[in-house]
Structure 1
Amino acid sequence: MNRMGENQSAEALEQGLATALARAGLGAPVGLRRLTGGATMESWMFASDGSEYVLRRAPSLSFMEGRPFGHDSEAAIIRAAHEAEVTAPEVIVELEPEDGIGSGFVMRALPGTPDPRVILQMDDPAAILRDVARDIARIHGLPRAALPDDVPEMDYAEAVEGLAQQFEEAGADRPIIALGLNWLRANLPDRVDPVLNHGDYRLGNLLAEDSRLTGVLDWELAHFGDRHEDLAFGCMAVWRFARVDRPALGLGSLQDYVDAYEAESGAKVDAGRFRFWLVYRTVWWALGCIRMASFWRSGDDRMLERVVISRRTSEQELDLLLLLEEDAPEEEQARPVPRAEEKLEPMGEASVGEIATAISEWLATVKDRMEGHDRFQLAVARNALGMIARGDAVEVEFDDELLAQELLDGERSLATPGLLAMLRRNALDKLGADVPKYPMLALARAKWTGED
């Protein structure tokens, strides 16, 4: 099997890229470097003939298997968006098999930063939000005739059942996800006339500079469907980063976002449909996080980020419970959350958590010797060791196949006495071990326990 990513030499990548660039009349790449981040696809920055470009490609050829369309169609979608004055990049050339470096394409680099924390600190986030509303309205206005024939249309029921199948394949033992799946089945909306959805429109995939939107990236999940799905996805708590107080992409209020979008698109936003897709996408990303571990186990992509991202499932489970708990009876919402159970302090030989802490402390001493993607990977490694250390210090019971099945089948629900309080406790403990700095954790802890 041909594995790419970190297993492929920089020399081979440069040679294949030079072959592709020649088809576009460009010279060989200079200063090729891997950009950090990217939960699915790789991005490489380089210069050619005095201008900067970005190569986007899959980490392995097998990674593209089962996807609704390939990089050729993704490139065509981006071209159509660019021509419609969406802030999409200009596609220069697609990779071909004879290039020998897998599947992908080259884009002209855009100005601005993708760093959400930098974007959220810009002087006028409201201006960025208006740009977002304009761009997403233009995406939703792209006609089918301008797009590749293989762009799929989402069938809502099939999509929900697809998530249920993923849940089954992942062990079907996470009660909060089961609760979400049951809710989605019970609240499935009627089909509406579909529009093109970007599919991944949120901070992290947007570029901004001087309080203006400068780019929209990562179009691999584009599909036809309900416009509310695109609108809701960027408003998930996880994509607001530190600004959980600003529900619209961390940039402003939902009302301002809705008003700007309606003015740009001429379409009305329905609050009920918005909530459905917010729940749907939270379940979707919870299962997407779990699935990262299977990519790593398969050997197709042994990047460290995969196993660490899989533990971010607990972020989505907490967010999902916050979304669904409003449907619980008032007496269950008011029921006190049980106290956390802590392990006794370790004695004798070093515990697993202590060993993880010791390794993390040593890695901190070599941090300054690292640069580029290696430095990023070191930070990911320290995060992983922190998960081990914190998880070793508390008793967390989160995997429960029987309870999950009962919730999925509707035999138990948020009306079951004491269930919501127990799920809240487990969600707090699991996320406290996995990602204690997740902003919604502090909000949930204060709401559910009264603790700071």
Structure 2
Amino acid sequence: MGTDDSRSAIERGLNEALARAGMGEASGLARLTGGATMESWRFACGGEDYVLRRAPSLEFMEGRPYGHDSEAAIIGAAFDAGVTAPEVVLVLEPEDGIGSGFVMRALPGTPDPRAILAMDEPAGLLREVARDLARIHALDPATLPDNVPEMDYAEAVEGLAEQFEEAGGDRPMIALGLKWLRDNLPERVEPVLNHGDFRLGNLLAEDSHLTGVLDWELAHLGDRHEDLAFGCMAVWRFARVDRPALGLGSLEDYVEAYEAESGVSLDAARFRFWLIYRTVWWALGCIRMADFWRSGEDRMLERVVISRRTSEQELDLLLLLEDDAPEEEQARPLPPSDVKLDPLGEASVGEIAEAVSEWLGTIKDRMEGHDRFQLAVARNALGMISRGDRVDVEFADDLLAQELLDGERSLATPGLLALLRRSALDKLAADVPKYPMLALARAKWTGED
């Protein structure tokens, strides 16, 4: 059965599912903002608030190791084990006609990373985050669905390499990361349940306390260091790049709290491997968003904009890997940016984009909810066009990428690190100039504030 995406159709199908569970009708159904893959809709029923989590299209569920029924069962096991996971009350069925998903009881708190980072006691919140992650990793496999996959590290890395080739195989920074992963593959350890997406944005908090762990669609069995490292990626620290642990505190405090709760000693080398792995993983994940849009699977504007966030991960990868370069290469000055002259004559493409963005800003106050969010995304997209029109950025080089994968060139190659640094700075300045790590990298590599 197909999927009807109209709000009224979703409400009809949802009410059928609620009736099957012996519940009343939904009211106040509203789309929540955010969500890189799945949709979330909040509604009231019987005096309580609930959230419907669903795939935006049935095609989105193809190729996944398990469906929403298994995801709901994983969440249920975590809930029963004392994790601050939501309580699942029903799973959608095909006859509901609104695709794949489930309904869970709404939890208090905000998922907004900036609101969480502004809370009064981030250190206490970080300890609670470490506590919940340790509880997730301690879950008895017997309580989990049989189809939860175990990650094979080598297969996972080669899977990234395949994605890289499918995406054109022409991004040198990603090739550099893949080569490093192949050269530094760790030995298998006894697997635990990994949440798979444990970071700000998927955590709820209120008054400096953790109130919810959301978005379990990537849960799998694997190395606990992967979960720990993922939340510490620079992209998930948001404005607090000075706090390596989820933007909430120091890595030392996070590790200490986790080890105290779990009784397990962590390995710094394994942590670094998974930090680099997940940075490559998210870089390729961003690129794939454009494919979802091109194929028609999901024509939401966020897809094409998120695809350009690949440049964030390319810069982060270089920051993670550059310490392996010889000191003389780390000290080499960067080549200058290739900045275009100010345009003359009729308006340039960039100026047109900037003009449209300015007009959209005048109607912002007329929008609300998801429409207001989409308007902000549209303005970001236009900003990318405007800024990219001013600088010649060469970021695709399939020959160099292949040479890096083959080990024919490396960060020891004279001048290569400086070239990659310049490319990463210029591309990110065009794509996402407010990304916090850009200012840090620019100061480190050029001495500019």
Q: Shorter-normalised TM-score: what interval?
A: over 0.9
1:389 to 386, 391, 411: 386
Instruction: Pick one of 124, 127, 132 that aligns with 2:124.
Output: 127
**Larger deviation: 19-28 or 34-43?**
19-28
The match for 1:145 among 128, 142, 147 is 142
Counterpart residue number, 2:408: 411
Distance 1:303 1:3, change over 3 A: farther
Alignment of 1:19-168 (within 5 A): 19-168=16-165
- Can you list the C-alpha shifts for 1:312-335, whole angstroms capped at 9, x where unaligned? 000000000000000000000000
Q: 2:325 aligns with which of 300, 304, 328?
A: 328
Residue 251 of structure 2 corresponds to residue 254 of structure 1? yes
The answer to whether 1:243 aligns with 2:240 is yes
Aligned-partner SS, 2:355: helix
Rounded to whole Å, the distance in 1 between the matches of 2:337 and 2:59 is 43
Matches for 1:270-281 after TM superposition, within 5 Å: 270-281=267-278
1:7-28 superposed Cα distances (whole Å, 9 cap, x missing partner):
x221111110001111222111
Distance in 2 between the 1:395 and 1:297 partners? Answer: 25
TM-score after normalising by structure 2 = 0.99
Deviations 1:336-362 (A, max 9, x none): 111212101111111110110011011
Choose the corresponding residue for 1:13, options 10, 30, 50. Answer: 10
Deviations 1:171-226 (A, max 9, x none): 00000000000000000000000000000000000000000000000000000000
What residue number does 1:350 align with? Answer: 347
1:208 equivalenced with 2:205 (yes/no)? yes
442, 446, 449: which one pairs with 1:449? 446
The amino acid across from 1:19 in the alignment is E
Contact 2:3 2:97 in 1 (8 A): no
Q: Which runs of 5+ in 1 are unaligned?
A: none
Q: Indicate the SS of the match to 2:211.
A: strand
Contact kept, 8 Å, 2:2 with 2:97, in 1: the verdict is: no
1:282/1:316 contact within 8 Å kept = yes
Instruction: Verify the 8 A CA contact 2:137 2:193 in the aligned structure 1.
Output: yes
CA distance 1:3–1:172, change in 2 (3 Å): farther
Q: Which amino acid aligns with 2:311?
A: S
Q: Is the 1:206–1:215 contact (alpha carbons within 8 Å) kept by the matching residues of 2?
A: yes
Letter in 2 for 1:112: G
- For residues 10 and 248 of structure 1, the distance between their equivalents in structure 2, rounded to whole angstroms, comes to 38
**TM-score between the two structures when normalised by the length of structure 1:** 0.99
Q: CA deviation at 1:143?
A: 1.1
Question: Contact conserved, 1:3 with 1:300, CA < 8 A, in 2?
Answer: no
Equivalent pairs, count: 449
Q: Which residue matches 1:188?
A: 185
TM-align CA RMSD: 0.7
DSSP 3-state at the match of 2:389: helix
Partner amino acid, structure 1, of 2:73: A
- C-alpha deviations, 1:149-189, integer Å up to 9, x for none? 00000000000000000000000000000000000000000
User: Contact (CA 8 Å) 1:68, 1:150: kept in 2 or not?
Assistant: yes
Measure the CA separation in 1 of the matches of 2:190 and 2:323.
30
Partner of 1:266: 263
Structure 2 unmatched ranges of 5 or more: none
| Aligned AA (2:334) | V
In the alignment, the residues of structure 2 paired with residue 342 and residue 12 of structure 1 have an alpha-carbon distance, to the nearest angstrom, of 50
Q: Give, in angstroms, the shift of residue 144 of structure 1.
A: 0.9
Amino-acid identity (%): 82
Distance in 2 (alpha carbons) for counterparts of 1:103 and 1:409: 42
Tell me how far apart the structure 2 counterparts of residues 446 and 195 of structure 1 sit (CA, whole Å): 40
CA distance in 2, matches of 1:45, 1:236: 29
Which letter does structure 2 place at the counterpart of 1:324?
Answer: L
2:387 and 2:94 map into 1 onto residues whose CA distance is 46
Contact 1:329 1:414 survives alignment (8 Å): yes
Contact 1:398 1:426 in 2 (8 A): yes
Shift of 1:2: 3.8
In the alignment, is the contact (CA less than 8 A) between 1:163 and 1:284 conserved in 2?
A: yes
Q: Give the counterpart letter for 1:252 in structure 2.
A: G
Q: Which moved more, 1:358-367 or 1:185-194?
A: 358-367
The 2-side partners of 1:23 and 1:232 are apart by 41
For residues 3 and 237 of structure 1, the distance between their equivalents in structure 2, rounded to whole angstroms, comes to 36
Q: After TM superposition, what 4+ stretches of structure 1 lie above 4 angstroms from structure 2?
A: none
Give the corresponding residue for 2:357.
360
Instruction: Report deviation, 1:366.
Output: 1.1
1:293 aligns with 2:284: no
**Aligned counterparts of 1:272 and 1:28: Cα–Cα separation in 2:** 52
How far the C-alpha of 1:3 sits from its partner, in A, is: 5.2
SS at match of 2:409: coil
1:221-264 alpha-carbon deviations (Å, 9 max, x no partner) = 00000000000000000000000000000000001000000010
Following TM superposition, by how much is the alpha carbon of 1:279 offset from its aligned partner in structure 2, in angstroms? 0.1
Separation in structure 2 between the aligned mates of residue 172 and residue 341 of structure 1, nearest angstrom: 24
Tell me the distance in 2 between the aligned counterparts of 1:168 and 1:78: 34
> What amino acid sits opposite 1:372 in the alignment?
G
The residue type paired with residue 86 of structure 1 is: V
- Partner AA of 2:128 in structure 1: D
Name the SS of the counterpart of 1:393 in structure 2. coil
Please say if 1:311 is aligned against 2:347: no
